[in-house]
Amino acid sequence: MKKIIAALLAVMMLAFCFAGCGDTADSSATDMEYVKEKGTLIVGITEFAPMDYQENGEWVGFDADMAKAFAKELGVDVEFIVIDWDNKVLELNSKNIDCVWNGMTLREDVMKAMETSNPYCDNAQVVVVPADKADQYSTKESLASLNFAVEAGSAGEDMVVELGYEHTSVLTQADALMEVSAGTSDACVIDLLMAGAMIGEGTSYEDLTYTVSLNSEKYGVGFRKGSDLAEALNDFFAKSYADGSMQKVAEEYGVQESLIAQ
């Protein structure tokens, strides 16, 4: 009986050692190695022109095109997945996505939760209202009585909470625009770059305009905490800026004035 027990213990110890070795190997693999091994960079996005939006069934935009170019540099394919913006950190850490690349504001909480790239675009949070009411809402003080629509988990939501404005959280910034257009919200807070692309003359929201700028901020790309892909992207940004390809993509989508030198 003692021999049988000893044999069983030996087998268990051997199995434990193998499991431990496997865990060590997994934990030592870098994010770069992980992405290259599976052959695809999975990018978490939302519908957000001019950064990420669909055209003829394909994701395009400044961020989308730069993500495609970065994946090509890594020698992998790229896949875009629409995420709930409020759950972006969870999506990263669960490895449903490999990065968040969608005009993401480099807020303090984001930079604590993710490994982030260098900033690449300037931005601001702006108030969008019906154009025929713009004169009434030209200061922060004049906005206090309005009900705002904001994207859940966004910098815009942070701003209205900080200012104490009444608000309704919706899934995306595009949804926030629809709320104002439909009259179910008085105003919304969205990114300046989106406002420039989505509202005013020649757009689907000709009857909307933006008035007050609530802050200034910068965009960055987020990876899992400790990921070596962030530094690889910084190198890629520097290379793309130096050879002019980054500026060319920016000009295609009208964001060249917001581009930050790399």
Say if residue 174 is in the same domain as residue 106.
Answer: no
Instruction: Give the pLDDT confidence score for residue 99 in this predicted structure.
Output: 98
Say if residue 73 is in the same domain as residue 87.
Answer: yes
Say if residue 39 is in the same domain as residue 109.
Answer: yes
Taking only the tens place, the pLDDT of each residue in 35-75 is 999 999 999 999 999 999 999 999 999 999 999 999 999 99
Residue 14 lies in a domain: no
Instruction: Give the pLDDT confidence score for residue 94 in this predicted structure.
Output: 97
Say if residue 194 is in the same domain as residue 129.
Answer: yes
Say if residue 108 is in the same domain as residue 223.
Answer: yes
**How many domains, in total, are found in the chain?**
2
Residue 11 lies in a domain: no
Residue 8 lies in a domain: no
C-alpha 33/C-alpha 23 separation (Å) is: 16
Say if residue 149 is in the same domain as residue 105.
Answer: no
Say if residue 82 is in the same domain as residue 204.
Answer: no
Residue 19 lies in a domain: no
Residues with Cβ within 8 Å of residue 122, at least 6 apart in sequence? 216, 217, 218, 219, 258, 260
Instruction: Give the pLDDT confidence score for residue 5 in this predicted structure.
Output: 42
Write the DSSP string, the chain. -HHHHHHHHHHHHHHHHHHHHHHHHHHHS-HHHHHHHHTEEEEEE--BTTTBEEETTEEESHHHHHHHHHHHHHT-EEEEEE--GGGHHHHHHTTS-SEEEEEEE--HHHHHHSEEPPP-EEE-EEEEEEGGGGGG--SSGGGTTPEEEEETTSHHHHHHHHHT-EEEEES-HHHHHHHHHHTSSSEEEEEHHHHHHHBSTTSTBTTEEEEEE---EEEEEEESTT-THHHHHHHHHHHHHHTTHHHHHHHHTT-GGGBPP-
Write down which residue in 197, 215, 233 finishes a domain.
Answer: 215
For residues 177 and 198, the answer to whether their CB atoms sit within 8 Å is yes
Say if residue 43 is in the same domain as residue 81.
Answer: yes
Residue 16 lies in a domain: no
Instruction: Give the pLDDT confidence score for residue 18 in this predicted structure.
Output: 41
71-84 in b/e burial notation, b at 16+ Cβ within 10 A? Answer: beebebebebeebe
- What CATH number did the domain enclosing 151 receive? 3.40.190.10
Residue 148 lies in a domain: yes
Say if residue 117 is in the same domain as residue 132.
Answer: no
Say if residue 190 is in the same domain as residue 136.
Answer: yes
Residue 9 lies in a domain: no
Residue 63 lies in a domain: yes
Instruction: Give the pLDDT confidence score for residue 7 in this predicted structure.
Output: 45
Say if residue 137 is in the same domain as residue 196.
Answer: yes
Say if residue 100 is in the same domain as residue 227.
Answer: yes
Domain interval for residue 190 = 125-215
Output the tens digit of pLDDT for each of the chain's 262 residues. Answer: 444 444 444 444 444 444 444 443 345 489 999 999 999 999 999 999 999 999 999 999 999 999 999 999 999 999 999 999 999 999 999 999 999 999 999 999 999 999 999 999 999 999 999 999 999 999 999 999 999 999 999 999 999 999 999 999 999 999 999 999 999 999 999 999 999 989 998 999 999 999 999 999 999 999 999 999 999 999 999 999 999 999 999 999 999 999 999 9
